[in-house]
Amino acid sequence: MGEPAPISLDTLTEQQQEALASATLIAKEAGWKLDEFSEWTLLRFLLKHRWKLSAAEKQIRSTAAWRAEVGADAIRASIAAGLQPRDWPAMDRICPHVLLAFTNLPTDDGDRLTYVDANDVFEVDAFLNCATAAEIFVINLYVLEHASYHNDRRSAATGRLCRWSTHFDARGIGMRHISVRVAWKFRPCLPLADNFYPSLFGFMLTVNAAKAMAVFWSLVSPFVGENAKQVAILDTESSPGALLSRAPASSVPTCYGGSLRRLPVDEVSRLPAPPERFDYGAAYPNELGRWLASGLPAAALPDPARGGGDEVGETGISR
């Protein structure tokens, strides 16, 4: 999870600057295809290992080998070239089951916010059947690379380390949605962030959680360790305005107590489908979906029977 104090390249000591330069040489030697923002990537490895270069080197080398094996460098390059979430492999089949709104909206700490809402659209069986385990793994690579690249790009623009924070509206998610089968399908993805994307995450805020889930977390979180401080799971009573303690009102949708009435124009391209082809209110009958729909142009879906564009499914997603 995130470090409590802002990290800036300008505030690094001479010894830390030397460690970062050495880490860059190590990564290049290991075959890592670095880009203009990669010094921020490597800074994260040094932070994780408390600036112990020998410890960071092991993870940098293993990460470089893994990236070559799974093609992560090519994915990052495609994202740098402008690839958007709606163009990711299998995204058209996965996104009907969960609404992901990736944004650059800042938290109080300057991290980037992603909004998630699965109420009224997530069902275990349908989700398990929408994509293979291999496709789930690949889509997770794209999510992680998207977060990593845009975190690094924002870091370079602001001069301070930026992380990825999430706001998950768990309203409607209950015990029937807790499935060992889902966990098993995601099993290969679970260690990826810890192993290959250190210091990627800021806070993870879950609101409107079932009371049992919130109580359980309150009991176990003291024993989870330092990282638990960045995770909060709140029941419905404790949720109103919770994000406002971590982000400015201008970054928080009105449906969550903020002043943001519509998604900024430059953020719309990050949505899982183009709004002119997609009815967000109908596809996602939940808080986030209705809020998005209220600030987006009405979908004007073509009629395939009249030869108007691609075939469009029930949710409005091209297939």
For 51-109, the pLDDT digits (tens) are 999 999 999 999 999 999 999 999 999 999 999 999 999 998 998 899 999 999 999 99
Calculate the average pLDDT of the chain: 87
Over residues 45-54, the mean pLDDT reads 97
- Domain count across the chain: 2
Over residues 242-261, the mean pLDDT reads 96
Whether 317 is covered by a domain: the verdict is no
Give pLDDT, residue 223. Answer: 65
Token representation of residue 234: 């709140």
Residue 208, pLDDT > 60, answer yes
Residue 4, pLDDT > 60, answer no
Whether 173 is covered by a domain: the verdict is yes
More confident site: 253 or 299? 253
Give pLDDT, residue 286. Answer: 92
91 and 179 both lie in a single domain? yes
Query: Rounded to whole angstroms, how far apart are CA atoms 317 and 310?
Result: 10
Give pLDDT, residue 215. Answer: 81
Q: Are 69 and 202 in contact (CB under 8 A)?
A: no
Give pLDDT, residue 177. Answer: 62
Q: Are 164 and 151 in contact (CB under 8 A)?
A: yes
Order of strands across the sheet that contains 99-106 = 99-106, 112-117, 164-169, 201-209, 231-235
Range in 23-27, 291-295, 306-310 with the lowest mean pLDDT: 306-310
Query: Rounded to whole angstroms, how far apart are CA atoms 65 and 141?
Result: 15
Task: Give the domain-ending residue among 22, 37, 70.
Answer: 70
Whether 315 is covered by a domain: the verdict is no
211 and 284 both lie in a single domain? yes
CATH of the domain at 127: 3.40.525.10
231: domain range? 85-306
Residue 303, pLDDT > 50, answer no
